[in-house]
Amino acid sequence: DAKTTQPTSMDCAEGRAANLPCNHSTISGNEYVYWYRQIHSQGPQYIIHGLKNNETNEMASLIITEDRKSSTLILPHATLRDTAVYYCIVRVAGLSGSARQLTFGSGTQLTVLP
Amino acid sequence: EAQVTQNPRYLITVTGKKLTVTCSQNMNHEYMSWYRQDPGLGLRQIYYSMNVEVTDKGDVPEGYKVSRKEKRNFPLILESPSPNQTSLYFCASSSDRVGEKLFFGSGTQLSVL
């Protein structure tokens, strides 16, 4: 699976959009981009995933560049409860011969400031 | 409410005393998995199961056992715990068979003295 690079930490003002970048320059054509977050010591929470098109759900939007080498997770109106570590993960979807695990890296610590 | 339930939340034990951490999900998910989380090492998969009676090793299976006799339960067994198994453990399940959209439990903080 392709390796991802994320900033170690970011701050965002409450009520503003939080834009979390992720670089995955070695991504291959059949690899999806997944985002999870982990609020301190709780279990990680799935946010969103996509292949090449931009995706949006009730939690966030995922913008993937045309060359797919990077993506941005957008939380449109950040709240204090969005303070968490955000993980960007790249992985081949589907069976592909075996159940491939999601590899969680170090992620980005997002702190939403009042 | 859809959830993954782990028990206990906290556990302190001594080296060599067998223990079991239970995990149960009420979403009829086929895929279940165990992770451990350690500072500086992130989340690492211990074992996973794609269905009843089907289990396989993850990245760090040594010292652990699992079983999947029923769809909803996936216990993690430490036959002879050692201090290097002190960690925060998470159970997860997924409706897809390869664990793409994982639902995690609240975690079990284990300390082995």
On chain A, the residues whose CB falls within 8 A of the CB of B31 are: 99
Q: How far apart are CA B84 and CA B7, in angstroms?
A: 20
Q: How confident is the model at residue A99 (pLDDT cuts 50, 70, 90)?
A: very low
Q: How confident is the model at residue B96 (pLDDT cuts 50, 70, 90)?
A: confident
On chain B, the residues whose CB falls within 8 A of the CB of A42 are: 104, 106-107
Question: Is residue A60 scored above 50 in pLDDT?
Answer: yes
On chain B, the residues whose CB falls within 8 A of the CB of A86 are: none
Question: Is residue A97 scored above 60 in pLDDT?
Answer: no
B7-12: list long-range contacts, CB under 8 Å, 24+ apart: B7/B108, B8/B108, B9/B106, B9/B107, B9/B108, B9/B109, B10/B108, B10/B109, B11/B108, B11/B109, B11/B110, B11/B111, B12/B110, B12/B111, B12/B113
Measured between CB atoms, does B33 come within 8 Å of chain A?
yes
What pLDDT digit, counting tens, does each position of B38-61 carry? 988 888 999 999 889 999 998 899
CB-CB under 8 Å, A93 with B100: yes
On chain B, the residues whose CB falls within 8 A of the CB of A32 are: 100
Q: How far apart are CA A39 and CA A37, in angstroms?
A: 7
| Eight-class DSSP state of B83 | G
Q: How confident is the model at residue A96 (pLDDT cuts 50, 70, 90)?
A: very low
What pLDDT digit, counting tens, does each position of B68-84 carry? 999 999 999 999 999 99
Report the residue of chain A nearest B58, measured CA to CA: A101
CA distance, residue A102 to nearest chain B CA (Å): 7
Q: How confident is the model at residue B100 (pLDDT cuts 50, 70, 90)?
A: confident
